[in-house]
Amino acid sequence: MAKPDGVMRRITILGSTGSIGESTLSLLEYAAAKGETAFEIEALTANRNVAKLAEQARKFRPKYVAIADAGLKQDLVDATGDLDVETGAGEEAVIDAAARNADWVMAAIVGAAGLQPTLTAAKRGADIALANKECLVCAGDVVTAAIREAGGALLPVDSEHNAIFQVFDFDRPHRISKLILTASGGPFRTWSEDDMAAATPAQAVAHPNWSMGAKISVDSATMMNKGLELIEAAHIFPIDHKHIDILVHPQSVIHSMVEYVDGSVLAQLGSPDMRTPIASTLAWPDRTPSPSAKLDLVETGKLTFEAPDIERFPAIRLAREAVAGGGAMPGMLNAANEVGVAAFLSDRIKFLDIAAITEQVLEVASRHKTNAVLTTLEEAIAADAEARRLAEEAVVARAAA
C-alpha cells in the first residue's frame, strides 16, 4: 500500500497462513489489481503449514519466510528451493522476521506465541496492525509502551477495536463516557446450558457470522473472545475498563460504539467481513477499496440487541475479574483459556470445562500478590508459564474424571 506520500510500503505478515493473514494477502492482491498499491513483502511466517507458506512465497515473492516449527526447516528449504527467498525455522526465526525492516507489520499469529514477534516489530518503530489480541491481554502495558516509545502506530484490526479507533476522539478522550463493544453472541447464544455441556468442537467453531481460525471461533462460543476484547480495549484506548460495556448484537453489523458525554453515540458499521478493518489499517490514515460486500441495511432489515447472559457465559465475568485484578491476572486468564481451548479442540475436555478450568487458575492467581502494572516481558512470560502449568493439571484431572 502506498503511504500518503507515495512511498512504497514494505510489509511483513506474522501468521500469513491463517485466516487474517490470508485475508491480508488477498487484499494486497486486490489493491494491486486496482492499481492502488505500491508494496513489497519483506517477510511471511507460519507455524507448521510449509505447503501454504511456500505457495505464498511463490506468489508474493517475500525476501524472507520463517516457519515456527524448527523440525520443518528442511521441508521449507525443499519447498522454496527454486525461489530467491531466505528461509528460517524455529521461534527465533519468526522473531527474526519481525525484526526485518518492514514499515507495516500485520500481527496475526494466534495466541501468546505472537507476543515476542509483535514486540520485536513494535520496538523498531514499525506500524503495527494488531490482530493478535492475546498479546495485549498478557502484556498490554509492555506492548503499548514499546509502540509508543518507538513511534510506530498501533492500528487495531479486531473489528470492534477497529470500529472504535475510527470514531474515538483521541484529542478529547475526557469527553468520552463509555465504549460499547458489540458481540454476536456466538453459535450458542440461544442454547441451553445442558446443550452447551454436550457441544462438540465442530459445533463450537461454526460461527454464525464470521469465518475465523479455530481458536478465536471457540472463544466466540464461550464469549471469552469478548472478555479478551474488553481487556484489549482497555489497553488500546485511554478509558477505564469499568466504562466498557458489552452488548449482544446478533447481526454483527454495528462493530462497536463510542458514547460521548453529551449523549451522542458514534458507531462504525459494515458487513461482517474482516477485509474491511484490515483494509482500513493497510491504508491508514488514507482509505483503500476492499472487495467486501457493501452493507445493505434494507436487506439486513432489523438490528437487534440484548444483554449478555453472564450465567451461561461466565468467561465475561472472569475477564472482568482479571482486568480488575490487574498485573499478571489477565495473562493468566489468557494462558488458562488457551490451554482449555486446545484441550477441548482435541476432545480431552468438555465445552463448559474451558471456563471452569480458567476460573480455577484465576482463583490461584488471585492469591498471588502481583504488581498492578506489568513492566517487563519476563513477568508476563513467567505468569503465562505458571498458568499453563496449572491449567494443564486441571485438564488432566478433568480428562480423568
Using CA of residue 182, residue 211, residue 38, residue 14, what is the dihedral sign? positive
Nearer to ligand NAD among residue 69 and residue 86 (C-beta): 69
Place of cell 503511504: 3
Contact between 386 and Mg ion by CB under 5 A: the answer reads no
Nearer to Mg ion among residue 232 and residue 386 (C-beta): 232
The full 3-state SS of 95-115, as one line of letters, equals: HHHHHCCCCEEEECCCCHHHH
Contact between 176 and 319 (Cβ < 8 Å): no
Nearer to Mg ion among residue 80 and residue 222 (C-beta): 222
Nearer to Mg ion among residue 127 and residue 160 (C-beta): 160
Nearer to ligand NAD among residue 210 and residue 260 (C-beta): 210
Distance in Å, CB of 298 to ligand NAD, minimum: 26
Part in contact with Mg ion (CB under 5 A); list of ranges 72-80, 156-164, 315-323, 342-350:
156-164
Distance in Å, CB of 131 to ligand NAD, minimum: 3
Q: With H, G, I as helix, E, B as strand and everything else as coil, classify residue 123.
A: helix
Alpha helical stretches, state H, 205-301? 214-222, 224-236, 275-283, 297-300
- Residue 250 binds: one of Mg ion, ligand NAD, none (C-beta under 5 to 8 A by kind): none
Alpha helical stretches, state H, 326-350? 329-345
Contact between 232 and Mg ion by CB under 5 A: the answer reads no
Q: Pairing state of beta strands 9-14 and 39-46?
A: parallel
Q: What would the x/- binding string for Mg ion be over residues 160 to 199, using CB under 5 A?
A: x---------------------------------------
Q: With H, G, I as helix, E, B as strand and everything else as coil, classify residue 397.
A: helix
Q: How many H helices and E strands in the chain?
A: 17, 11
Distance in Å, CB of 397 to ligand NAD, minimum: 25
Question: What radius of gyration, in Å, describes the C-alpha atoms of the chain?
Answer: 20
Nearer to ligand NAD among residue 52 and residue 178 (C-beta): 52
Nearer to ligand NAD among residue 68 and residue 239 (C-beta): 68
Distance CA 45, CA 241 (A): 33
* Strand partners of residue 41: 11
Nearer to ligand NAD among residue 177 and residue 251 (C-beta): 251
End-to-end CA distance of the chain: 54
- Residue 134 binds: one of Mg ion, ligand NAD, none (C-beta under 5 to 8 A by kind): ligand NAD
Distance CA 387, CA 83 (A): 42
Distance in Å, CB of 221 to Mg ion, minimum: 14
Distance in Å, CB of 5 to ligand NAD, minimum: 29
Q: What would the x/- binding string for Mg ion be over residues 288 to 317, using CB under 5 A?
A: ------------------------------
Nearer to ligand NAD among residue 213 and residue 331 (C-beta): 213
Using CA of residue 229, residue 235, residue 236, residue 238, what is the dihedral sign? positive
Q: Which of 42, 127, 134, 158 binds Mg ion (CB under 5 A)?
A: 158
CB count in 10 Å sphere of residue 367? 6
Contact between 273 and Mg ion by CB under 5 A: the answer reads no
Part in contact with Mg ion (CB under 5 A); list of ranges 108-116, 154-162, 167-175, 336-344:
154-162
Distance in Å, CB of 18 to ligand NAD, minimum: 2
Contact between 236 and 161 (Cβ < 8 Å): yes
> CB under 8 Å, gap of 24 or more: what pairs does 66-69 form?
66/93, 66/94, 66/96, 66/97, 67/93, 68/93, 68/94, 68/113
- Residue 19 binds: one of Mg ion, ligand NAD, none (C-beta under 5 to 8 A by kind): ligand NAD
Q: Which residues bind ligand NAD (CB under 6 A)?
A: 15-21, 46-47, 49, 68, 94, 108-110, 113, 131-134, 158, 210, 212-213, 215-216, 274
Distance in Å, CB of 313 to ligand NAD, minimum: 17
Distance in Å, CB of 316 to ligand NAD, minimum: 16
List the one residue out of 359, 344, 361, 355 whose CA is nearest residue 399: 344
Nearer to ligand NAD among residue 22 and residue 86 (C-beta): 22
- Residue 68 binds: one of Mg ion, ligand NAD, none (C-beta under 5 to 8 A by kind): ligand NAD
Distance CA 294, CA 276 (A): 10
Binding residues (CB under 5 A) for Mg ion: these are 158-160
